[in-house]
Amino acid sequence: MSEAAIIRIENLNKTFGNGGNAVVALDDINLSVKQGEVFGIIGLSGAGKSTLVRCINLLEKPTTGNVIFDGKDITLLSDRELRDVRQSIGMIFQGFNLLMQRTALENICFPLELAGVSRKEAKQRAREMLNTVGLAEKENAYPAQLSGGQKQRVAIARALATRPKVLLCDEATSALDPTTTQSILSLLKDLNKKLGLTVIIITHEMKVIEQICNRVAIIDNSHIEEIGTVDDVFRHPKTQAAKKLIFPRGEMTKSIAKGGKYLRIVFDGNSSDQPVIANMVLECGEPVNIVFANTKDIDGKAYGHMIIQIPDDPVIYHKITLYLDLEKITYAEENYDV
């Protein structure tokens, strides 16, 4: 991954409608995506993330602000020049958006036809792409004959047929089941590594970000709340918006006894294979209540969170934090009173 920014968004604003009915969708967005990274943009529905990704290839025209792609401010381009630039920015969607009356192969040929590639060359390139996404045997299948995961693979092959530098993914796995989501995400990661493709992922699911992104931007209420490496944001979420996404309230046990303190314990590659909580309980001799736990594999290392509730007693609190300090386990006191 090089440090050069392939996409820079500067002071971008987007307002829908005007006058009294104006709705601000994006408010002063600034971010840059480095060449070759997998960049995630996460937010709850209505946060503005889909509008933001559409501003990157100007499917949505920003009200003010600039989008710099590969050193060029694309907001200044003519329609014709913009169409050329769009061929270097692939995009996939939640609904796949394949041409239903074309076979898988013909779908992949489509952007090549637009780019003026000869029919023969287009077919050859399309076959190559079908191979890359592991669907070589489905070239004559129509979208209606493919499963959701296969459709998204065809969509990926189509988006990458013209060898774009960037792939935009708009909720690309949100319509897929967990297993298929995994396989699509690993395909994207693979393409990112093999082709040096920059991938920008829009999602509302933290697990998608955790699994393949290098950096993440958290968007809430039309604002970017936080940008950082996934590791950092995941371990030390600074803003309320980030915390809300990392621990969706719905997932926490509702029947928490009132009172007590909450500690968020962060696991990293070193500690998740050890019985940390069990050791802590044995060592300190104090009961704790596990309120929320979530561990997973990120980039080959195990990460996770656990929120425990401990009795509201300074002595016990001190004993437990001392133990955690000694074991070099990251933790933070959290306030989760409902």
Partner 1 sequence: MFSSQMFVLVAVGFLETLYMTIISTAMAYIVGLPLGMILAVTDKDGISPNVPINKILGGIVNVLRSVPFVILLVLVMPLTRAIVGTSIGSSATIVPLVIASAPFVARMVESSAKEVDRGVIEASLSMGASTFEIVRKVMLPEAKPSLIVGAAIATTTILGYSAMSGFVGGGGLGTIAINYGYYRSRTDVMLIMVVVLVLIVQVFQEVGNIISRRCDKRIS
CA separation, residue 74 to residues 30, 65, 164 (Å): 16, 11, 15
Residue placing its CB nearer to partner 1 in the complex, 54 or 261: 54
**Helix (H) / strand (E) containing 261:** strand 261-267
Give residues with Cβ within 8 angstroms of 283, minimum separation 6: 323
Residue 115 near partner 1 by CB under 8 A: yes
Residue placing its CB nearer to partner 1 in the complex, 65 or 95: 95
Helix axes 119-132, 148-160, angle to 10 degrees: 130
Residue 145 near partner 1 by CB under 8 A: yes
Contact 338, 266 (CB under 8 A): no
Among 152, 162, 198, 211, binds partner 1 (CB under 8 A): 162
Footprint (CB under 8 A) of partner 1, residues 10-69: 57, 59
User: CB under 8 A: which stretch of 8-16, 19-27, 81-89, 199-207 binds partner 1?
Assistant: 81-89
Among 73, 113, 177, 313, binds partner 1 (CB under 8 A): 113
User: CB under 8 A: which stretch of 65-73, 95-103, 231-239, 282-290 binds partner 1?
Assistant: 95-103
Contact 148, 162 (CB under 8 A): no
CB atoms within 10 A of CB 10: 17
Residue placing its CB nearer to partner 1 in the complex, 108 or 219: 108
Residue placing its CB nearer to partner 1 in the complex, 111 or 149: 111
* Shortest Cβ 39–partner 1 spacing (Å): 18
Residue 86 near partner 1 by CB under 8 A: yes
* Shortest Cβ 86–partner 1 spacing (Å): 4
Q: Which residue has the tokens 């656990």?
A: 306
SS3 223: strand
Residue 98 near partner 1 by CB under 8 A: yes
DSSP 155-216: HHHHHHTT--SEEEEESTTTTS-HHHHHHHHHHHHHHHHHH--EEEEEES-HHHHHHH-SEE
Among 111, 237, 260, 304, binds partner 1 (CB under 8 A): 111
* Shortest Cβ 74–partner 1 spacing (Å): 12
Amino acid (one-letter) located at 3: E
Residue placing its CB nearer to partner 1 in the complex, 169 or 284: 169
CA separation, residue 142 to residues 57, 145, 149, 224, 266 (Å): 28, 5, 14, 40, 47
The site for partner 1 (CB under 8 A) is made up of 57, 59, 79, 82-87, 89-91, 93, 95, 97-103, 110-111, 113-115, 142-145, 155, 158-159, 162, 168
